[in-house]
């Protein structure tokens, strides 16, 4: 049936007619009309235009409000980060000032010859923050050549801040306005917000570090966290190759009974070794993120350098504990301090020594006979009883009861490690039981007489650690 309205024709279909009815419907539909009158069309257009005049400005206003609110929130966030950055810089510089004073005032690291004339005092144990920065600050003192008690001209800048609850992980840059950028130092430091403000912290929530990761081979097994994955995965092959080369040089089996474990720990501390504990042997080294490093060096290079030194130490230790390495002969007592020199030179965090300053302060001769029986006691008896007043560490090894032996032996060991190949170092240690002094050892191993070897060692010390 059909219903006629004033504006539109509506067609209703009675479906009882079946297919014929549907066909008729489509035929009629093609001719059906649905037209608005011109007056109604004009009315509808005017109605919509009025709404457009209202809605369009409203939409613009809402967009502006949203943009302003977003910018306000962003600006407040930036102001909050800037405030946090400023507070952390102040806290870090306050702590750093204490560390700088300790480095400059410590007689063991003073460069001037008058240090021994000052009243002796027991130095306090450095804070964890100072332990972290001390190698870099000592290195800076050497580079800058400053020997006064004046505050070093240093500036610490916080460059990036990553927040997680009450913790902030910040990238800092420490440099001197008078030095080039490459002479500065970079580090990632963790600070925690306390009632007293932002304070340096040695532990971070697990969210900062991510999931545990492992890289394993027959020689090494490296444990680290997701945050360190890129840096440590990149150096894994290099460390394995270095470990294999040193094992081959010392005649050790290509594959140890158990892989050596290198663990990247998330709290800063001096690297530790557990070679002498229950197996498997293990190195615990701080995450590369926590290293204070020269600005032009990547964090992975610092980690690789430290790990490499401990790999060398582990190889030397394993070889010296193998009777066949020394041809089943005991190590003579007069060479024990030389072996200790290798241990301490490799255990240090950096390949730098203060032997030149220490020797100058105590008037110790840089001579190979310093740690030969019969001379050590006469040279060092006068200072042996004063080591507790100078804050020295008393080592358990009998050969290091006198600090001068340790200083000189460590310096010689560092020179050998930095100058000669692993094969020559292994050859030297292997034949120690066969020689009484450097007079026969130097020609046999280094193809030069003892005087020439001593001159080259002194030249190395003078070149790398010049006296002011």
Residues 196 and 254 in one domain: no
Residue 3 confidence (pLDDT): 44
Residues 360 and 295 in one domain: no
Residues 335 and 459 in one domain: yes
Counted domains in the chain: 3
Residue 398 confidence (pLDDT): 35
Domain assignment present for 30: no
Residue 5 confidence (pLDDT): 44
Residues 124 and 202 in one domain: yes
Residues 225 and 263 in one domain: yes
What's the domain range around 250?
A: 210-299
Residues 239 and 266 in one domain: yes
Domain assignment present for 61: no
Residues 117 and 241 in one domain: no
Residues 188 and 234 in one domain: no
Domain assignment present for 2: no
Domain assignment present for 198: yes
pTM above 0.75, yes or no: no
Residues 437 and 295 in one domain: no
Residue 117 confidence (pLDDT): 38
Q: Which residues of the chain have pLDDT under 70?
A: 1-53, 55, 61, 64-65, 68-80, 101-126, 138-152, 164, 177-183, 203-205, 207, 267-280, 348-407, 465-468
The last residue of a domain, from among 206, 221, 256 = 206
Residue 452 confidence (pLDDT): 92
Residue 426 confidence (pLDDT): 94
> 268-300 b/e with 16+ CB inside 10 Å = b?
beebebeeeeeeebbbbbbbbbbbbbeeeebbb
Domain assignment present for 44: no
Residue 336 confidence (pLDDT): 82
Residues 290 and 159 in one domain: no
Domain assignment present for 315: no
The last residue of a domain, from among 159, 183, 206 = 206
Domain assignment present for 109: yes
Distance CA 238, CA 261 (A): 15
| Angle at CA of residue 280, ends 131 and 240, nearest 5° | 75
Residues 466 and 349 in one domain: yes
Residues 467 and 327 in one domain: yes
């Amino acid at each position: 049936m059909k219903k006629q309205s004033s504006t539109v024709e509506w067609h209703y279909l009675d479906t009882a007619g079946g297919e014929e009815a549907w066909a008729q419907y489509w035929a009629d539909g093609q001719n059906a009309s649905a037209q608005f009158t011109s007056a109604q069309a004009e009315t509808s257009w005017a109605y919509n235009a009025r709404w457009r005049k209202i809605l369009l400005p409203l939409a613009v206003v809402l967009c502006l409000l949203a943009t302003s609110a977003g910018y306000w929130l962003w600006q407040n966030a930036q102001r909050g980060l800037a405030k946090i950055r400023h507070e952390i810089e102040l806290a870090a510089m306050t702590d750093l000032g204490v560390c700088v004073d300790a480095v400059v005032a410590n007689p063991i690291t003073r460069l001037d010859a008058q240090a021994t004339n000052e009243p002796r005092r027991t130095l306090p144990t450095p804070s964890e923050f100072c332990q972290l920065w001390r190698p870099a600050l000592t290195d800076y003192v050497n580079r800058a050549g400053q020997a006064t008690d004046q505050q070093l001209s240093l500036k610490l800048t916080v460059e990036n801040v990553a927040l997680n609850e009450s913790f902030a992980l910040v990238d800092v840059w420490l440099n001197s306005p008078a030095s080039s950028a490459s002479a500065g130092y970079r580090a990632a430091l963790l600070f925690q917000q306390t009632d007293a403000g932002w304070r340096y912290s040695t532990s971070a929530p697990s969210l900062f570090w991510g999931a545990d990761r492992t890289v394993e081979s027959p020689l090494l097994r490296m444990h680290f966290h997701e945050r360190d994955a890129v840096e440590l995965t990149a150096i894994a092959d290099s460390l394995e190759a270095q470990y294999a080369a040193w094992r081959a040089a010392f005649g050790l089996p290509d594959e140890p009974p158990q892989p050596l474990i290198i663990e990247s720990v998330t709290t800063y501390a001096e690297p530790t070794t557990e070679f002498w504990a229950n197996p498997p042997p293990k190195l615990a080294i701080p995450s590369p993120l926590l290293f204070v490093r020269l600005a032009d060096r990547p964090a992975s290079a610092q980690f690789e350098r430290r790990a490499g030194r401990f790999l060398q130490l582990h190889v030397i230790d394993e070889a010296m504990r193998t009777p066949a390495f020394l041809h089943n002969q005991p190590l003579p007592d007069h060479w024990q301090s030389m072996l200790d020199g290798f241990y301490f030179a490799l255990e240090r965090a950096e390949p730098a020594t203060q032997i030149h300053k220490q020797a100058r302060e105590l008037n110790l001769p840089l001579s190979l006979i310093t740690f030969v029986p019969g001379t050590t006691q006469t040279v060092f008896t006068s200072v042996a009883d004063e080591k507790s007043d100078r804050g020295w560490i008393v080592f358990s090894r009998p050969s290091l009861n006198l600090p001068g032996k340790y200083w000189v032996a460590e310096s010689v060991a560092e020179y050998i490690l930095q100058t000669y190949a692993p094969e020559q170092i292994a050859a030297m240690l292997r034949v120690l039981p066969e020689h009484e002094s450097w007079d026969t050892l130097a020609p046999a191993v280094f193809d030069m007489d003892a005087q020439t070897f001593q001159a080259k060692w002194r030249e190395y010390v003078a070149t790398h650690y010049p006296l002011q």
